[in-house]
Chains A and B, each alone.
Chain A
């Protein structure tokens, strides 16, 4: 079942159940609780995704609404019911690996949400003062972040602390607070009922849509680069998987050496594409001859520098980086590529390859960069990456 169908199914079923509950209990809050529980299920199906695939569900915003407006038992029932339905939908998807862990994570976050909210309300007494309500909601949102992050570390689920992840949490928290106030009001004022969370969720839904578009565009961009990186492999110029292995090694070494995130991105692009220029060169008359590495670097660097977003990667490939931080990137790429040539192409053992690199004259390889390679290679002696299927 597609996500759109699931969303429609849940939305329609929730609307019917909520209306029925409201008819059966016109003066009570059961109908509203059913509507909000539906929001929790829908929020489980819509997530804000970071670069590394770590997610924050929109249901956390709805959790704030329910925690701030209902008793603990009602909150527990709504969360349990919603998670149960979400679990059924997840498992029908057959991608159940991480969902089992998510099923453990959500109740823990839910418990932290209501405990934090109630704790601040109890301590500050004036439950219907705007400042107290805002403080309690902020504490509940902060508890969600802390507990979700901690639990993800324990459960070894994907976790991100990138700028995009921080923005995702901010969007969830601010929308959750707004939706909560929209639902319950403060001191009897500004009470919109279920219309509040419904309408105030619009900015959050716009945020979700923007995240989805960005995620799809980023994925397409990286896949296009990776696809281009495979051309030299298909052309028989480099061994299968060379570009991806060099990219993975380079990124790991950059992390060891404390290279900034943006420089690491440029380095990764440079590593993926560092042989691309060779496909544009004429084949040598004598098959035993090889095109010189310097010529390949110059041609590739020139090509990449003509493309604005890849200009920095072009400098790294061409080895013409003037800034010290870029010179580190140039060194990393050189070491990673030569190491992969020695191991994957020439069939040397990692220790032999390391020794060969170490025994080169001092001006060829930077000692710090070699040390970082040693650390990375010791941690993951064989970087498993998917290369081109050359059986075409």
Chain B
């Protein structure tokens, strides 16, 4: 977990003091605490705070907001204090008690308390309430949800500005997508609160069961996904043990493929599938004997055919994996060329082909040194529309230039063999293997990775 920054100490002290003052004032003026509701939802809030799941950088699954919203409704406008306490508890994470994280705990608890105070006040002030008929009653959650969002965003944006990591515009742009998850949780929280008023604490138990089960399944999903990622590393290590020249090749191809996917506006799930396919594109090389993979210089015709088998093996092995089959089925083959007359051909194999070729050209191989980036770009442009998909080639060049990255001769990230023999242009490892010429030709430029 990230250590709490020093620059936020005074800011956190300020919002904590504000939250404490609000609790003190409300406690002094409160006619009732709505004790039962506060206890029931407070307990639920503490439980849900410990069972938080981060699905991605932008999506959190946290039933805490739902619980706090239910507490606001269940307090039936009688107790802002109960809502504030439950709201604060939704952010009380025990793992943040440890040294270095307590600042975050104070920051999160205080900001939640203030934001839920705003939500409870908005709910209490709104004329449409819990007793309205459905679906009109649902409108009651809108001001509460908006008040919560406006308050929490203000607190967070100011914290970013105080910390000096983002401007307020950048901060807001980062926070806005997360707002989409608030309204659905607010609606369920509203219904839970209303049901609580009718049937008591049983309502809370009934709704929390499927929420917690969903959370467990999401957590299992993330664990399996991590295991899958690590297992792909197994393949990569096996490949690197066979052919040390290609160390880091699969990861770099995946990175370049990701650049192209970003330029082509791929959705996250599609980009993820492409990343896996890129990481595994050389899986068939596992069956090629090490002696052939590491042979410096030209392959004989027999050796060439033996190496070539890896393409079909790759296709067959990737076809075993359901989510990669649409890509593998269209032949992630090194012999594949761009075919403008086949509009049904998925673009992913073309993306991997461009990424593979670019990385092979800008990396040192057993048969030649890395080429300069300009030569690699020129090669991509020259063969754009014939060998390479023009959109993919242009997207990669654009993405690399945008990032001011330099690859190739002298700039390789993992240079393993500085004294590799210069054997001519060669190519993308196995990326664009060309069959050896039948006649003896000392300047032939075929090779392998």
Contacts and interface: CB of A to CB of B under 8 A. Distances in A.
Interface string B185-225: 00110010011011110110111011101111110110011
A43 to B, nearest CB: 14
**Majority SS of interface residues in chain B?**
helix
B231 interface: yes
A319 B153 CA distance: 56
Interface string A266-292: 000000000011011111000000000
Nearest to B273: A220
Contact of A204 (B210, B287, B289, B320): B210
B199 A210 contact: no
Interface stretch (A15-23, A81-89, A146-154, A179-187): A179-187
Contacts of B200: 130
Interface stretch (B311-319, B405-413, B438-446): B311-319
A188 to B, nearest CB: 9
Interface string B277-295: 0001001101101110000
A216 B283 CA distance: 21
Interface string A171-201: 1001101100110011001101101100110
B291 A283 contact: yes
A221 interface: yes
A96 interface: no
Nearest to B241: A280
B211 A220 contact: no
A195 B134 contact: yes
Contacts of A220: 228, 276, 321-323
Contacts of A216: 323
A224 B231 contact: yes
Given A178-B206, A214-B221, A279-B238, A234 B287 contact: yes
A26 interface: no
Contacts of A195: 134-135
Contacts of A345: none
Nearest to B227: A309
A140 to B, nearest CB: 14
A202 B63 CA distance: 12
A254 to B, nearest CB: 20
A227 to B, nearest CB: 4
Question: Which among B214, B232, B237 has the highest number of chain A CB atoms within 10 Å?
Answer: B214
Contact of B217 (A178, A207, A227): A207
- B-side interface size class: 35 or more
A73 interface: no
Contact of B199 (A190, A282, A310): A190
Contact of A392 (B220, B231, B313): B313
Given A211-B217, A276-B238, A283 B290 contact: yes
A175 to B, nearest CB: 5
A388 B194 CA distance: 59
B230 interface: yes
Given A235-B286, A283-B290, A225 B214 contact: no
A217 B231 contact: no
B322 A219 contact: yes
B335 interface: no
A52 interface: no
Nearest to A167: B213
Contacts of B213: 167-168, 170-171, 207, 210
A193 B138 CA distance: 14
A231 interface: yes
B210 A171 contact: yes
A309 B231 contact: yes
B342 to A, nearest CB: 23
A384 interface: no
Which of B61, B225, B234, B289 neighbours the largest number of chain A CB atoms within 10 Å of its CB?
Answer: B234
Contact of A227 (B199, B287, B321): B321
A202 B184 contact: yes
A392 B210 contact: no
A230 interface: yes
A214 B218 CA distance: 7
Contacts of A199: 187-188, 191
A203 interface: yes
B235 interface: yes
A129 to B, nearest CB: 11
A189 B290 contact: no
Interface stretch (A299-307, A327-335, A375-383): A299-307
27 contacts: A168-B213, A170-B213, A174-B205, A178-B207, A178-B210, A185-B198, A199-B188, A199-B191, A200-B191, A202-B188, A207-B213, A214-B218, A216-B323, A218-B224, A221-B224, A221-B231, A223-B322, A224-B280, A227-B317, A231-B286, A231-B317, A276-B238, A283-B290, A303-B234, A303-B241, A310-B234, A392-B312
Given A206-B61, A228-B317, A282-B289, 13 more contacts: A134-B202, A181-B195, A181-B199, A190-B194, A214-B221, A214-B224, A216-B323, A217-B224, A224-B235, A231-B317, A277-B238, A279-B242, A282-B290
Interface of B: 61, 134-135, 184, 187-188, 191, 194-195, 197-200, 202-203, 205-207, 209-211, 213-218, 220-221, 224-228, 230-235, 237-238, 241-242, 276, 280, 283-284, 286-287, 289-291, 309, 312-313, 316-318, 320-323
Closest 7 CB pairs of A and B: A190-B198, A210-B217, A174-B209, A309-B227, A203-B210, A231-B286, A189-B198
